Amino acid sequence: MIPDWACERRRMVEEQLRRRGIKDERVLAAMLEIPRQEFVPVELRVLSYQDDPIDIGCGQTISQPYMTALMAQSLELRGTETILDVGTGSGYGAAVLGALGARVISIELVPNLAEWASRNLERTGRAGNVQVITGDGSVGYPQAAPYDAITVGAAAPEVPAALVDQLRVSSRLVIPVGTRQDQSLMIITRKRVGKKTRVGTQCRFVPLRGAEGWR
């Protein structure tokens, strides 16, 4: 029996997101609209709307819905932004960001995942303003900088200076920082001189790999 995916999305938005403090109506609308099951391996689609990360292979996961929504909300997007998304994975986070900003550049270290994410975005009609690139996202993507927002879907041992440098002044970087086991979700705003940092929540992500991540 095929699940009622639309019903599952409504339940996710009301029970997992709105009740837990996600208030940005644009974020809630994007999460309600985008078919998360299309970004999950076929054999695991029954788990698509549980509030848990899901294994997508290659040692990577698709983040839990609440964390995807919280990170998007923390960027305070208005619809005109160019966004750098580090760690494409299956492409779901990039799809959400694409519904919230003007342009998304999503960078993935693992070629197979980058190809799969591109297919997922194309199949769901989300590729129009989302570009997937294979490369080391821990050092950003300076070719298209500066960015109005940057989000990182993997945990770094410290905040990569390259990502802060690629932000516009007054723009935000959202990134999990800490050990391999436990991290804090850091929300960093670039200032004309230095940066302002606050903690959004405690979290647990897969490690960020690359020159500015875990070796």
Catalytic residue annotation:
63
What's the distance, Cα to Cα, between the start and end of the chain in Å? 44
The sign of the CA dihedral 190, 191, 196, 200 is negative
* Vertex 35: Cα angle to 187 and 104 (nearest 5): 45
User: Under a CB-based contact definition with an 8 Å cutoff, are residues 182 and 109 in contact?
Assistant: no
Q: Output the six-digit token pair for 130.
A: 């989302």
CB atoms within 10 A of CB 109: 21
User: Under a CB-based contact definition with an 8 Å cutoff, are residues 99 and 34 in contact?
Assistant: yes
DSSP of 112-126: HHHHHHHHHHHHTT-
User: Under a CB-based contact definition with an 8 Å cutoff, are residues 56 and 78 in contact?
Assistant: no
User: Under a CB-based contact definition with an 8 Å cutoff, are residues 91 and 120 in contact?
Assistant: yes
